[in-house]
């Protein structure tokens, strides 16, 4: 029987090994959970106070209210707001760490990082109203970091990057009262409103959800992206290799997994250390092979072309190759299962963030102040571990696929010759029909990568330029869609543009916080055309999403005016009121709205229909 758990040949091979070895993975645990709780699936259970837990009967036979009297609509809306708040908090706390690092570098307290993109630093300073005249780079960085930290609890009443959006968008947000006032404030208010006995109006709750999500997209995530570029360099097109075949039979394999570039950048640096490379050789290894996974993998593949071993559902599979000396993690998307699994091999599971500890992990605290030394120590431990590798248990799939990534806004502009005009022209004359942003995770509810790859292919074939981030982009890397040669899979118009510019039809724009790059492009396109973001022939999709961060992303993309298709169901179907708000009324309120479509081909059709409707409204 065909194994439908993944379309990735390496995943399928590793799942076979897992079965032979009697090891469980997320797919097994997912099966063991089925049938999953119906109340949970519909969003109808509440644990917000200790008179509960309460659950609302979706069929109308059982209780229709919680102990406090909360209806299904209220419970669903509150639960959704909490999901958004958690997602926004995760992205924004990542942004805060990057901002703190910039502040420390500027103050001379942190010595292992430097400022790699002075132009971007100056451009951001101007945006924040900081004069650069007569100031040193350190001084500008200090002022910018202070201004950026201020965004988390700002008292000026709006976030700086809101000025990037067209005025029409700002007006819409202003009228609805959803201009985010401060990053932390919106998350705190979400928690307050969902505490017992506060906000019990579904629409009011959802509107705050949009505001909270906007503080992520145009706030926390945006700062994470922009200030990472300042510190680590703005990505430029770069070539590399992807999938589990990037693991080496001979070298010390170190997998870095998680999200923040602060750790992964330093590991990249330390892995080049000649002393450590000879230490690895002294242990009989061919060298040091640092590879990435998930979004921290995206960060270093965007900036350095570091090989990426896979996306979310491959984290356990990488361990099962038996070839990993260490899995090094920071925060987010790290399965707690890794500890037990790593113990079945010689693999060391190393946690580094005080915020994220795991059973079975060795904790090596990483902080910005002794970053390089800690990174070296981590690599040393991996090297020490190399002789413990049991060569008889090593199985590394052969497949690797090359990718070209690194499409920051700046890189796209420079490919276009400095302005967005050629892109706008290509859209106007229908060579490019529109743009679709495909983002988000893997989820064992979906055949791994099936939705990502098929949607991307269906869209480019119909001349829709696809831009991607996160695990979606890694899926495309593995499927060969990030290569300029993939233009042959594109429709004639898109293929012509790709060939003229030498770019792939699917552009990798980075990690999930880098969806802020997508927002920036959308806002700039709208300005160039003199319209609102909602008027653009543009759509979003999260074909295999699983995390709360993805919910926050979906919400800010919709709130920014962009139609978004979800490939797994949001737990809101227990409330017609909330479902209607998100899939219908949102269109009138903010221009963007959600659709749920689990079939990637139908989802692509929805996007194409949306793009065509926007084109004709624009008269192009």
**Residues making up the binding site for [Ni-4Fe-4S] cluster:** 259, 295, 333, 441, 471, 512
CB of 575 to ligand SF4, least distance (A): 13
Instruction: Provide, rounded to whole angstroms, the least separation between the CB of residue 136 and ligand XCC.
Output: 35
Q: Which of 181, 195, 212 is nearest to 85 (CA)?
A: 212
- In the annotated binding site, the residues are 37, 45-46, 49, 54, 68, 259, 295, 333, 441, 471, 512
Q: Which does 66 bind (CB under 5 to 8 A by kind): ligand XCC, ligand SF4, none?
A: ligand SF4
Question: Which residues are paired to 256 by β-bridges?
Answer: 292, 328
* Binder of residue 549, out of ligand XCC, ligand SF4, none (CB less than 5 to 8 A by kind): ligand XCC
Which one, of 573, 549, 579, lies nearest residue 95 by Cα? Answer: 549
Residues in the chain: 620
C-alpha to C-alpha distance for 10 and 20, rounded to whole angstroms: 15
Q: Report which of 404, 397, 435 is spatially closest to residue 537, judged by C-alpha positions.
A: 435
Q: Where are the alpha helices (DSSP H) in 531-581?
A: 548-559, 576-580
Q: Which residues are annotated as a binding site for [4Fe-4S] cluster?
A: 37, 45-46, 49, 54, 68
Using the structure block, give the residue that is written with the tokens 């032979």.
20
Q: Which is nearer to ligand XCC, 182 or 470 (CB)?
A: 470
Q: 61: which residues sit within 8 A by CB, 6+ positions away?
A: none
Residue with smaller CB distance to ligand SF4, 69 or 134: 69
Nearest approach, Cβ of residue 78 and ligand SF4 (Å): 8
Nearer to ligand SF4, 78 or 259 (CB): 78
| Nearest approach, Cβ of residue 53 and ligand SF4 (Å) | 6
| Residue 95 or 166 with smaller CB distance to ligand XCC | 95
Answer for the pair 84, 78: CB distance below 8 angstroms, yes or no: no
Task: Decide the pairing of beta strands 45-46 and 362-363.
Answer: unpaired
Distance in Å, CB of 80 to ligand SF4, minimum: 14
* Partner in contact with 49, chosen from ligand SF4, ligand XCC, none, beta carbon below 5 to 8 Å by kind: ligand SF4
Q: Pairing between strand 538-542 and 563-566?
A: parallel
Chosen from ligand SF4, ligand XCC, none, partner binding at 440 (C-beta under 5 to 8 Å by type):
ligand XCC
Specify the 3-state DSSP secondary structure of 209: helix
Residue 293 C-beta: closest distance to ligand XCC, Å: 8
Contact residues: ligand SF4, CB under 6 A? 46-49, 51-54, 66-68, 70, 75, 196
Decide which of ligand SF4, ligand XCC, none touches 254; Cβ closer than 5 to 8 Å per partner kind: none
Of 54 and 503, which has the nearer Cβ to ligand SF4? Answer: 54
Residue 441's binding partner out of ligand XCC, ligand SF4, none, with CB under 5 to 8 Å set by partner kind: ligand XCC
Given the rule CB under 6 A, which residues bind ligand XCC? 294-295, 312, 333, 440-441, 470-471, 511-512, 547, 549-550
Output the CA–CA distances (angstroms, integers) from residue 211 to 88, 170, 181, 571, 592, in the order listed: 10, 12, 9, 20, 14
Q: Could you give the CA distance from residue 65 to residue 344 in angstroms, rounded to a whole number? A: 47
Please provide the DSSP assignment of 242-268 as one string: ESGGGS-SSSEEEEEESS-HHHHHHHH
Look up residue 585 and give its DSSP letter: I
């Amino acid at each position: 029987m065909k194994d439908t758990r993944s379309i990735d040949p390496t995943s399928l091979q590793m799942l076979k090994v897992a079965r032979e070895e009697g090891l469980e993975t997320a797919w097994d645990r997912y099966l063991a959970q089925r049938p999953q709780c119906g109340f949970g699936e519909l969003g109808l259970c509440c644990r917000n106070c200790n008179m509960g837990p309460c659950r609302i009967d979706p069929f109308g036979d059982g209780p229709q209210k919680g102990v406090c009297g909360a209806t299904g609509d209220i419970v669903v809306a509150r639960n959704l707001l909490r999901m958004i708040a958690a997602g926004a908090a995760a992205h924004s706390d990542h942004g805060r760490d990057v901002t703190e690092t910039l502040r420390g570098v500027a103050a001379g307290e942190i010595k292992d990082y430097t400022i790699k993109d002075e132009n971007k630093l100056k451009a951001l300073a101007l945006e924040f109203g900081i004069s650069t005249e007569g100031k040193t780079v350190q001084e500008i960085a200090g002022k910018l970091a202070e201004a950026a930290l201020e965004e988390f609890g700002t008292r000026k009443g709006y976030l700086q990057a809101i000025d990037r959006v067209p005025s029409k968008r700002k007006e819409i947000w202003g009228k609805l009262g959803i201009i985010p006032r401060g990053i932390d404030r919106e998350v705190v208010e979400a928690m307050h409103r969902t505490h017992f006995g506060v906000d019990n109006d579904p629409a009011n709750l959802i509107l705050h959800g949009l505001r909270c999500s906007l503080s992520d997209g145009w706030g926390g995530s945006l700062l994470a992206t922009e200030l990472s570029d300042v510190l680590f360099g703005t990505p430029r097109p770069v070539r590399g290799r992807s999938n589990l075949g990037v693991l080496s039979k001979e070298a010390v394999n170190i997998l870095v997994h998680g999200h923040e570039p602060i750790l992964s950048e330093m590991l990249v640096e330390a892995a080049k250390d000649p002393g450590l490379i000879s230490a690895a050789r002294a242990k009989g290894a061919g060298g040091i092979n640092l590879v990435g996974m998930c979004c921290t993998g995206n960060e270093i593949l965007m900036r350095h072309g570091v090989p990426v071993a896979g996306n979310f559902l491959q984290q356990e599979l990488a361990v099962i190759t038996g070839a990993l000396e260490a899995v090094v993690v920071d925060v987010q998307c790290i399965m707690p299962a890794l500890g037990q699994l790593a113990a079945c091999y010689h693999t060391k599971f190393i946690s580094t963030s005080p915020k994220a500890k795991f059973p079975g992990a060795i904790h090596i605290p990483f902080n910005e102040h002794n970053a390089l030394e800690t990174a070296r120590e981590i690599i040393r431990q991996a090297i020490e571990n190399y002789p413990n590798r049991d060569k008889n248990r090593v199985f590394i799939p052969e497949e690797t696929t090359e990718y070209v990534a690194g499409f920051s806004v700046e890189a796209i502009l420079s490919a276009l010759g400095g302005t967005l005009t050629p892109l706008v022209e290509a859209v106007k004359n229908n060579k490019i029909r529109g743009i679709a942003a495909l983002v988000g995770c893997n989820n064992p509810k979906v055949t791994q990568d099936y939705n990502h790859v098929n949607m991307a292919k269906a869209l480019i074939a119909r001349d829709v330029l696809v831009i991607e981030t996160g695990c979606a982009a890694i899926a495309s890397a593995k499927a060969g869609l990030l290569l300029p040669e993939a233009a042959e899979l594109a429709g004639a118009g898109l293929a012509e543009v790709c060939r003229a510019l030498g770019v792939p039809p699917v552009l990798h724009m980075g990690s999930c916080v880098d969806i802020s790059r997508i927002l920036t492009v959308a806002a700039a396109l709208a300005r160039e055309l003199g319209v609102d973001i909602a008027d653009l022939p543009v759509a979003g999709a999260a074909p295999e999403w699983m995390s709360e961060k993805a919910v926050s992303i979906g919400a800010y993309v919709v709130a920014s005016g962009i139609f978004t298709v979800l490939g797994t169901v949001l737990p809101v179907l227990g409330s017609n009121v909330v479902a209607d708000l998100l899939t219908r009324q949102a269109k009138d309120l903010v221009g963007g709205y959600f659709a749920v479509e689990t079939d990637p081909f139908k989802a692509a059709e929805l996007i194409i229909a949306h793009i065509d409707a926007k084109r004709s409204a624009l008269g192009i």
